[in-house]
Chains A and B, each alone.
Chain A
Amino acid sequence: MPVVTYRDALTQALREELQRDDRVFLMGEEVAQYNGAYKVSKGLLDEFGPMRIVDTPITELGFAGVGVGAAMVGLRPIVEFMTWNFALLALDQVVNAAAKMMYMSGGQYNMPMVFRGPNGAALQLSAQHSQAWESWLAHIPGLKVCTPGTPADAKGLLKAAIRDDNPVVFLEGEMLYNTKGEVPGGEHIVPIGVAELKREGDHCSIITHGKMVLVGMKIADDLAKEGITLDVVDLRTVRPMDVEAIARSVQKTNRAVVLEEGWEICGVGAQVVDFIQRECFDDLDAPVLRVHQEDVPMPYAKNLERAAKPDAAKAIAAVRKVLYLD
């Protein structure tokens, strides 16, 4: 199987879906002539032309609204935000227009569109540009929220998102664009709402998504050397959430650590813990622990940023704690 970057996997998905369905088009800041701020749309302007690869002004609320209107009249827009930190300006269109349109029109309007862009902290981009938004967006009925952590899932989920008749929020990892992995060529679809067991073990479940999937797999490999084996459940989609996969794993291991990039309070992990306490109460041998960003705006200073982010060492400490090993 070809090994490609997360970035190229996304480009593959865009190209294949643009070829497959001429109602699909991409718009956003710098997506066309500049090939995308992160080069995800590289070469697409040349291939599909300016009617389908559309540069927009720096007006997030405006072009998100154009996308909603285009979807209402039967096109399948992909709206790229340069980062989800900028998409805050467009949330009225995402939350109050796209997510509500089918419901409030009594089913007259589908909303087959994708809002995509990089999410979460990169390196030293400071407080305003280092935020993971999935818990905000997953809160909204009417939206689907995808958080691929690997190139294969990035491709498969983006293709599924573009073909979905509902508005899909697609959160890419800025630090993941250069990561590599095996990606099936051609028709590769990852169904929305289905988790994947990225590592299989007996002693503790790591429930995670997005960028933290790589951390989960790393600590599983590290701890395996000590004889501690982990289930790493990659949610892949945080809404809808694959509750059965979580329950299956925790019922097997009796312990769980929920690992996410964002903040603690009302985070995705809080929802996961709620599912676990309801579905697995009699299976738990220890309180479920969460590993997440510290409850502060992301510091700019390198050392403080490192201390604020969730990482492998913090996740290992949590695993040891739920195993009563520390």
Chain B
Amino acid sequence: MATKVVMEALSPTMEEGRLVKWVKNEGDAVKTGDVIAEVETDKAVMELVARADGVLRKRLANEGDASPVGTLLAVIAGADENIDALIGGSAPAAAPAQAQAGGDTAAKAPANQAVAETAETAGQSPAPSAPEQSQGEASTPPQTGSGGSEKGAGSAPPPAGRLTPPRPQRPPAPKGNGARPGAASAKPGERQRSSPLARRLASERGIELGGVQGSGPGGRIVKRDIENAKSKGGAARSAAAERLASEGDFKDIPLTQIRKTIARRLAESNGPVPTFFLTAELDVTRAAEMRTQLAEMGDEYKASFNDIIIKAVALALSEHPEVNAHWLDDKIRQFNRIHVAMAVAVEDGLITPVLFDADRLQLWEISARARELAGRARERKLTPEEYTGGTFTVSNLGMFGIDQFTAIINPPEAGILAVGGVEEKPVVVDGRVEVRQRMRVTMSCDHRAIDGATGAKFLQTLRRYIENPLALVI
């Protein structure tokens, strides 16, 4: 079955695209999802992928050509299938109209040349046959019944004069956890069902619907399947209500075109996590005084520099959610809760136990919990829940006499703070040289998620907290 390859709208505002490069040659075998060509949109160079399996039989555009969305660019078909009719009718002027016609296209094509239009909504699956396509959504069983009317249907006589044909008798709904017939994914060759919202989200995030398992009735792909497709490797969580309840813990930021371009180009240049570093020297004289005073109040109030830094980082993160984030390839997830991980050296490596909701903990609580977690980390007694789930990490080598270092980001976290040792230094204060306690911190930032100015503003806030440490205990 032949499939048209058309200029697709690869960005929401794209009206035409320039074919930058053909990646496949005529005669190459292609599979659904293979990159056929690179297309420059109004914002970026994007990949045009095959929507069907077969052979790239004919290329109809040259590299460098600009074409309106919907223009026929190539034909994918069986190796010896006759595609003359498709190529003949490919005058550019007619092409956009064909693309918009959607399901009607099949009816217009010659009867023995069923064509699967590569329009947005038809692009998820192996090409449907012509009759199915022309009926579109209407070919799915009617979903008109509310929960209520179905309940009543068993006892009530069939009402006269219905406007709709009688509903097909449904099989009794299975109870318990047995596999629902409806939950099975679409069989090969069947139209892949998906909700309009799921299609829109998939298109915005560049997710191929063909690779997504639908969890709705009849294998319908719904919003949660798209959300799980990238972040969770496809498996829909069963306790859906629990998932819904936890949605408030973070905010997903869809990637803009500029963000996608930044991410792709920086990763090409600098390895998978394109990192940059920001260093600041902080004055910790007052923090040191506070430590002394806290220690005088009793052992339970004692706090290390590291505890003070964790508290300050947590408060600074609460003011800079863009730093309290994970990079998830298709989006940036900003967390509403602040879970600070701290790197702890153990005998043959390191581990990062997490101080959950660190912004809500008192300094003495952080101190006690950090000490306890570090102790058990060295004894290898941490449970996985205790060392996963961090939203930002702090690594401190000050106790080894290190002045300054750069730490490696722990993906998918977007940042990590490397803390050096506290040192007495001559510093000019108000025109006079004074001896002050100073400490250098270096923040590593995943540039795909955090820009230079964003990281710098975070460090400004961190400085405000560290240099005015009373803010950490009030």
Contacts and interface: CB of A to CB of B under 8 A. Distances in A.
Given A254-B223, A296-B156, A307-B155, A285 B147 contact: no
Given A227-B244, A323-B240, A307 B197 contact: no
A283 B196 contact: yes
Contacts of A294: 148-149, 152, 156
Contacts of B144: 287, 290
Nearest to B194: A285
A323 B163 CA distance: 28
A317 B197 contact: no
B240 A325 contact: yes
A310 interface: yes
Size band of the B side of the interface? 20 to 34
A228 B244 contact: yes
B24 interface: no
A292 B159 CA distance: 15
Given A254-B197, A295-B162, A325-B240, A289 B222 contact: no
Contacts of A228: 241, 244
Contact of A227 (B143, B146, B216, B241): B241
B296 interface: no
Contacts of B240: 323-325
Contact of A314 (B151, B162, B199, B245): B151
B347 interface: no
Contacts of B200: 282-283
A308 B151 CA distance: 10
B378 interface: no
A264 interface: yes
B152 A265 contact: no
B148 A314 contact: yes
Interface in A271-302: 281-287, 289-292, 294-296
B146 A307 contact: no
Nearest to A287: B143
Nearest to A265: B163
Contacts of A325: 240-241
A187 interface: no
B362 interface: no
Nearest to A324: B216
A287 to B, nearest CB: 4
Interface string A296-321: 10000000000110110011111011
Nearest to B223: A285
A202 interface: yes
Interface in A96-147: none
B247 interface: yes
A264 B197 contact: no
Contacts of B396: none
Given A228-B241, A289-B146, A282 B162 contact: no
A32 B145 CA distance: 46
Interface in B215-247: 215-217, 222-224, 240-242, 244-245, 247
Contacts of B152: 294, 307-308
B209 interface: no
A200 to B, nearest CB: 13
B195 interface: yes
B242 A227 contact: yes
Nearest to A202: B247
Interface in B357-409: none
A203 interface: yes
Q: Which one of B143, B147, B163, B197 has the highest number of Cβ atoms from chain A below 10 Å of its Cβ?
A: B147
A254 B216 CA distance: 15
A286 B216 contact: yes
Contacts of A290: 144, 146
A286 B240 CA distance: 15
B198 interface: yes
Given A228-B241, A286-B216, A291-B146, 19 more contacts: A227-B241, A281-B196, A282-B199, A283-B200, A286-B195, A286-B222, A292-B149, A294-B148, A294-B149, A294-B152, A295-B149, A295-B159, A308-B152, A318-B148, A320-B147, A321-B147, A323-B240, A324-B222, A324-B224
What 8 pairs between A and B have smallest CB-CB spacing?
A317-B147, A314-B148, A227-B245, A285-B197, A287-B143, A318-B147, A295-B159, A285-B223
Interface of B: 143-149, 151-152, 155-157, 159, 162-163, 195-200, 215-217, 222-224, 240-242, 244-245, 247
